[in-house]
Amino acid sequence: MKALAPQHPEWKTKQPFAALLKGDLKGAFAGGDHAILELVMATHAGMTTAEFEQIVKDWLATAKHPKFKQPYTACVYQPMVELLAYLRANGFKTFIVSGGGIEFMRPWAEQVYGVPPEQVIGSSIMTKFEMRDGKPVLVRLPEINFIDDKAGKPVGINQHIGRRPIAAFGNSDGDKEMLEYTQGGSGARFMLLVLHDDAAREYAYGPAQGLPDAKLGAFTPALYEQAKKDGWTVVSMKNDWNHIFGFEK
Amino acid sequence: MKALAPQHPEWKTKQPFAALLKGDLKGAFAGGDHAILELVMATHAGMTTAEFEQIVKDWLATAKHPKFKQPYTACVYQPMVELLAYLRANGFKTFIVSGGGIEFMRPWAEQVYGVPPEQVIGSSIMTKFEMRDGKPVLVRLPEINFIDDKAGKPVGINQHIGRRPIAAFGNSDGDKEMLEYTQGGSGARFMLLVLHDDAAREYAYGPAQGLPDAKLGAFTPALYEQAKKDGWTVVSMKNDWNHIFGFEK
């Protein structure tokens, strides 16, 4: 963002940009998930989709997670990887439905999760087809196209998949509507939420079950109550998962 | 549209609605493809996606094509069905990328073309997740979400598939940018256009090659020239296809 700020004088007074440029993380995140998405989208506009993909790949090749000291692609949950493989081995088609940027996940989702680009759904900015130096490209525009979170998740699922999921798995309030939509189908359905309650091996946040609050990706007591009432399975990372990451083994 | 008009007084003065309500087809189509899409989208809003799917299925079960006297699902091109099967037998994943409504095609594309709902890309209206009588549904809104035509086709392909096609097949100016985008990839690529030049077995229109003009789905002389210049294969339905429909055999 700092590198791009001179091209965006309006960021000096516009939130969440102004706060972040001053190093005020708390102020920047006060707008919640939507503010974060605006930041991510705005800072990645102007380049082609192919250029953006290369930046993601270059970053993943070198960056390490500050807590786990591993490449980010290694910091995926081992039980999630095993579940995806198990579902596919039993004839299911698996999709990722994330609040994160669709173009950020696609370059690595197939290698890490076995989910090809066309089965990744996420938030996106607008793109525009144009000829650049005689080559047909898609240019990323500084305008949000779709936010794949909360009530947006069923919309994104219908737009991309065109059928109701048989099973859905989440870990925050942003997944509530996706699980409701899944449960609303006929026949057997399965809904599951993962609770991050393991401060030692990963993180602990809720504020469900008396865990610390979280500005992003909160799992609220209301969601926990709804899960119990509606028969959704809640998994405790601390108590139910032998391993969290593959590199632990 | 006539059944819905009392709920939409603004249609009396707003084009293309006003013209169509007066039975003025020529006036209604004067706005081209975009006007048609507006008509289709507006007349199908307000109901849930599941209700719309049922209407499509009910209509297909009874309606017959006025010229061919066959169900619409039988009026698909036999060479297209064979090509799709051939590509899949050789390890390709096949998608439909249509200017038509995505929710109109999905209920029958798998049975007819072997293409499942999640591999159908098309034009769409906005939808909204809501609880209706305690059931989670998606409601169709009278607002265009995306027009999958012309420069929109590469955008839709990137949004849904996230990679550049290896081969692309079209039949009108609306497919030009999709074929350009396909050709822009590295390695071997294949681009093909079908020319409707068989008035006896199907229709004949261009205005390419001196064929009659078409208000919708035109194949212009400029597109024909570009195909020759860029090495795109042009197929004559009249000269190159032994059969057009499966029911001919």
Mean pLDDT of chain B: 93
Asked if pLDDT for residue A249 goes beyond 70, the answer is: no
Q: What contacts A113, CB < 8 A, 6 or more positions away?
A: A76, A80, A81, A84, A94, A96
Distance from CA of A40 to the nearest CA of B (A): 17
Check residue A212 and give its pLDDT. Answer: 97
> Is the Cβ–Cβ distance between A156 and A181 less than 8 Å?
no
Position A41 pLDDT exceeds 90: no
pLDDT value for A213: 95
Can you tell me the distance from the alpha carbon of B227 to that of A222, in angstroms, rounded to the nearest whole number? 59
Distance CA B126, CA B135 (A): 19
Question: In angstroms, rounded to a whole number, what is the distance separating the alpha carbons of residues A162 and A102?
Answer: 18
Instruction: Using CA coordinates, name the residue in chain A closest to B110.
Output: A162
From the centroid of its chain, how far is CA B41?
13
pLDDT by residue (tens digit) across A180-231? 999 999 999 999 999 999 999 999 999 999 999 997 899 999 999 999 999 9
Length of chain B: 249
Q: Mutate which of A138, A143, A157, A166 to disrupt the B interface (most B C-beta within 10 Å)?
A: A138
Burial class (CB in 10 A: 0-12, 13-18, 19+), B60: middle
Q: How many CA atoms lie within 13 A of A158 on its CB side?
A: 28
User: Residue B226 CA to chain centroid, in angstroms?
Assistant: 22
Note the pTM of the prediction, 2 decimals: 0.90
Output the CA torsion sign for A201, A202, A205, A206. Answer: negative
φ and ψ at B123, to 5 degrees?
A: -75, 155
- Residue B33 near residue B216 (C-beta atoms within 8 A): yes
Q: Where does residue B173 rank: exposed (0-12), middle (13-18), buried (19+ CB within 10 A)? A: buried
Q: Which residues of chain B have a CB within 8 Å of the CB of A120?
A: 162
SS3 content of chain A, % helix, strand, coil (to 5): 45, 20, 35
Instruction: Say if CB A164 and CB A186 are below 8 A apart.
Output: no
Q: B102-113 and B49-62 are packed helices; what angle lies between their axes, rounded to 10 degrees?
A: 50
pLDDT at site A138: 97
Structure confidence at residue B43 (pLDDT): 74
Q: Is any Cβ of chain B less than 8 angstroms from the Cβ of A118?
A: yes
Contact A237, A201 (CB under 8 A): yes
| A181: contact with B, CB 8 A cutoff | yes
**Any chain B CB within 8 A of the CB of A103?**
yes
**Which residues from A are below 8 Å from B124, CB to CB?**
159
Average pLDDT in chain A: 93
A-B interface: how many C-beta pairs under 8 angstroms?
88
Q: Are A79 and A243 in contact (CB under 8 A)?
A: yes
Distance between terminal CA atoms of chain A?
A: 37
Interface touch B154/A138, C-beta < 8 Å: yes
Q: How far is CA B172 from CA A139, A168, B63, B195, B208, in A?
A: 24, 40, 26, 8, 10
User: How close does chain A come to B91, measured CA to CA in Å?
Assistant: 15
Q: Check CB contact under 8 Å for B135 and A183.
A: no
B136 to A177: CB separation less than 8 angstroms, yes or no: yes
Tens of pLDDT, residue by residue, chain B (249 residues): 777 788 889 999 998 999 989 988 888 888 877 787 778 777 777 889 999 999 889 999 999 999 999 999 999 999 999 999 999 999 999 999 999 899 999 999 999 999 999 999 999 999 999 999 999 999 999 888 999 999 999 999 999 999 999 999 999 999 999 999 999 999 999 999 999 999 999 999 999 999 999 988 999 999 999 999 999 999 999 999 999 999 986
Which of B181, B191, B189 lies closest to B233, judged by CA? B191
- pLDDT value, residue B249: 65
**B159 → closest Cβ in A95, A124, A184:** A124
Structure-token pair, residue B78: 């036999």
- The whole-number pLDDT of residue B202 equals 97
Contacts of B130 in chain A (CB under 8 A): 151
B110-152 residue pLDDT tens: 999 999 999 999 999 999 999 999 999 999 998 889 999 999 9
- Picking from B57, B63, B229, B33, the residue whose alpha carbon sits closest to that of residue B123 is B33
Q: What is the pLDDT of residues A128-142, one digit of tens each?
A: 999 999 999 999 998
Specify the pLDDT at position A88: 98
Window 129-158 of B: residues touching A by CB (8 A cutoff) are: 129-131, 135-138, 145, 151-152, 154-155, 158
pLDDT at A18: 93
The mean pLDDT value for A162-170 works out to 98
Say what the ipTM of the complex is.
0.89
Q: What are phi and psi of B234, to 5 degrees?
A: -110, 125
Residues in B closer than 8 angstroms to A128, CB to CB, are 151, 155
Q: Do A118 and B120 touch (CB under 8 A)?
A: no
Residues of A in contact with B108 (CB under 8 A): none
- Dihedral angle at the C-alpha atoms of A86, A90, A93, A97, nearest 10 degrees? -30
Q: Do B118 and A163 touch (CB under 8 A)?
A: yes
Q: Does A160 touch chain B (CB under 8 A)?
A: yes
Beta carbons of A238 and A223 less than 8 angstroms apart: no
